[in-house]
């Protein structure tokens, strides 16, 4: 305890002698801690946190893909064939890539992303908010 008091007095003397050095040190520590907190918060939200759905580890996305191109959407008849004949999954549901449309609420129009989903979509998620993945831009 005696050495702690000695170190604390010595530190206070140095802060009185060189206040700018102390201010720069405190500012550097604050910026470093703030940057690490911000980076971790972003990674936690995007990568580490589970999806807000029932059994997120059981979700699988099935896509069609041409040989040398990005993914392409299933047509509705192909989706129906997959849904009727598959045996590996408890259920299948589909959605459209969506688009920007005007939505009316309480007499006011505002722009929003609108997607069409298959009939069993909401029953599988049990009323939980679902954030759909954005379609990939093809270049």
pLDDT in tens, 91-102: 888 888 778 888
DSSP 62: -
For the stretch 118-137, pLDDT in tens is: 877 777 666 555 555 555 55
Tokens 């298959």: give the residue. Answer: 118
Q: What is the mean pLDDT of the segment spanning 42-57?
A: 77
Which tokens hold the place of 121? 């979509």
For the stretch 62-90, pLDDT in tens is: 877 777 777 777 788 888 888 888 888 88
Q: Which pLDDT does position 97 carry in this prediction?
A: 75
Residue 91 φ/ψ, nearest 5 degrees: -165, 160
Mean of the per-residue pLDDT values of the chain: 81
Angle CA 126–92–62, to nearest 5: 120
Q: Which pLDDT does position 133 carry in this prediction?
A: 55
Q: Which of 134, 137, 132, 129 is nearest to 53 (CA)?
A: 129
- Rounded Cα–Cα distance for residues 86 and 92 (Å): 9
**H or E segment to which residue 136 belongs:** none
Helix-then-strand count for the chain, H and E: 4, 4
Say if residue 35's pLDDT is above 50: yes
């Amino acid at each position: 305890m005696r050495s702690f008091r000695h170190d604390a007095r010595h530190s206070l003397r140095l802060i009185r002698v060189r206040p700018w050095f102390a201010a720069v040190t405190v500012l550097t520590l604050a910026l470093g801690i703030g940057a690490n907190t911000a980076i971790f918060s972003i990674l936690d939200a995007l990568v580490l946190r589970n999806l807000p759905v029932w059994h997120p580890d059981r979700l699988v996305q099935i896509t069609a893909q041409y040989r040398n191109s990005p993914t392409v959407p299933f047509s509705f008849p192909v989706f129906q064939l997959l849904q009727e004949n598959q045996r590996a999954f408890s259920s299948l549901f589909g959605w459209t890539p969506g688009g920007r449309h005007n939505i009316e609420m309480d007499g006011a129009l505002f722009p929003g992303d609108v997607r069409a989903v298959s009939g069993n979509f909401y029953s599988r998620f049990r009323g939980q908010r679902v954030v759909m993945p954005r379609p990939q831009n093809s270049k």
